[in-house]
Amino acid sequence: MKLMRNLAEGALGKPSIVSIGVFDGLHLGHRYLVGKVIESARVCGHLSGVVTFDRHPDELLAPHKDIRYLTTPAEKLQLLGELGLDFVVALPFTSELAETPAREFVLALLEHLQMRELWIGPDFALGRGREGDGDYLDSLGQELGFQTHRPQPFSQSGTVLSSSGIRALIREGRIVDAAQLLGRYPAVSGTVVRGARRGHELGFPTANLALDDRLITPANGVYAARALWEDANHAGVVNVGKRPTFEHDGQTIVEAHILDFTGDLYGKNVRVEFVERLRPEQRFESVSALIAQMETDVADARLVLQKAELG
């Protein structure tokens, strides 16, 4: 897959079929749309490509919104690369780009990518003030010589998939539901940093993750999870929360107790894949009660992860 950071890098040598979007999380709905692009390109003998952005437009246009991402920009590009696209254009979303008229942007696609078809999802619009909606693009295509395709939205149980809907599920701790829509487990990645070492003192050492604060984290609670770094892949129990047994009004942290592992992970980048929520976060009246619950959490996590592997 060819990765470009601006349209002027095009020079593809062949016509292309394109989709445009933020594609945060690259959920099953996104994959369905990209699959349509790839399928059409193969039939026509054209190149298949996606134009995406380095951040959500609302981060610039609606800064009051709390934008939390399902994937980092690098993770999104990696996932797109796994789908079989010929190219991806990852544009910086700037004020200048936000003010570009829809017609001007489409003309750039035609010039640099030799776009012959544009495939768009539900509620899509591009250009200044979102003027380039589906009807506008249909009319523009007739004038300029490209086709706009608006396939039936991908849905499950009558619900159209959306990144915002999946974020809402994750915020509620509904990991299993979110995973079904993503097509994979929700995950976060971060560098392991030194913490208060309370887990070590309790007999359950944890890896504390310093996360990109733009990433969405699940509702506070305890989760069965997988921890991955380098070539390692371990079962784990992950706590998301403020450790109310020891602290008051603390910051939310993500800490992973990695099963069947002893070693030093400080400074390593660890990816945590959340498989299922075991329970909400709670405050215990004694350390012994907390330890007893942690032992139960470990046993429950092993069962959940064993079933997930068999499933």
Q: Check whether 92 has a pLDDT greater than 60.
A: yes
Q: State the sign of the Cα–Cα–Cα–Cα dihedral 275, 153, 123, 74.
A: positive
CA distance 188 to 70: 8
What are the residue boundaries of the structural domains of the chain, listed by start?
2-160, 185-310
Which of 18-32, 51-65, 261-275, 287-301 has the highest average model confidence (pLDDT)? Answer: 18-32
pLDDT value, residue 111: 94
Q: State the sign of the Cα–Cα–Cα–Cα dihedral 166, 169, 171, 174.
A: negative
pLDDT value, residue 247: 63
Q: Rounded mean pLDDT of the chain?
A: 90
pLDDT > 70: percent of the chain: 94
pLDDT value, residue 63: 86
Using the structure block, give the residue that is written with the tokens 């991955």.
Answer: 228
Classify each residue of 180-212 as buried b or exposed e, where b means 16 or more C-beta atoms within 10 Å of its C-beta: bbbeebbbbbbbbeebeebbeeeebbbbbbebe
Q: How confident is the model at residue 286 (pLDDT cuts 50, 70, 90)?
A: confident
Q: How confident is the model at residue 216 (pLDDT cuts 50, 70, 90)?
A: very high
pLDDT value, residue 206: 83
CA distance 11 to 58: 30
- Axis-axis angle for helices 163-171, 175-182 (nearest 10): 160
**pLDDT tens column, 117-149:** 999 998 899 999 999 999 999 999 999 999 999
Q: State the sign of the Cα–Cα–Cα–Cα dihedral 272, 278, 283, 288.
A: negative
pLDDT value, residue 11: 76
Q: How confident is the model at residue 308 (pLDDT cuts 50, 70, 90)?
A: confident
What does DSSP say about strands 115-119 and 16-20: parallel, antiparallel, or unpaired? Answer: parallel
Fold type of domain 2-160: Rossmann fold (3.40.50)
pLDDT value, residue 201: 52
Fold type of domain 185-310: Elongation Factor Tu (Ef-tu); domain 3 (2.40.30)
CA distance 23 to 239: 28
**pLDDT tens column, 225-268:** 999 999 989 999 999 987 655 565 667 889 999 998 888 889 99
pLDDT value, residue 151: 92
Q: Tell me how crowded residue 3 is: count the other CB atoms within 10 A of its CB.
A: 13
CA distance 311 to 306: 9
Classify each residue of 76-91 as buried b or exposed e, where b means 16 or more C-beta atoms within 10 Å of its C-beta: bbebbeebebbbbbbb
**Entry pTM:** 0.89
Long-range contacts from 95-99, C-beta under 8 angstroms, 24+ separation: 95/60, 98/57, 98/60, 98/61, 98/128, 99/128
Q: How confident is the model at residue 203 (pLDDT cuts 50, 70, 90)?
A: low
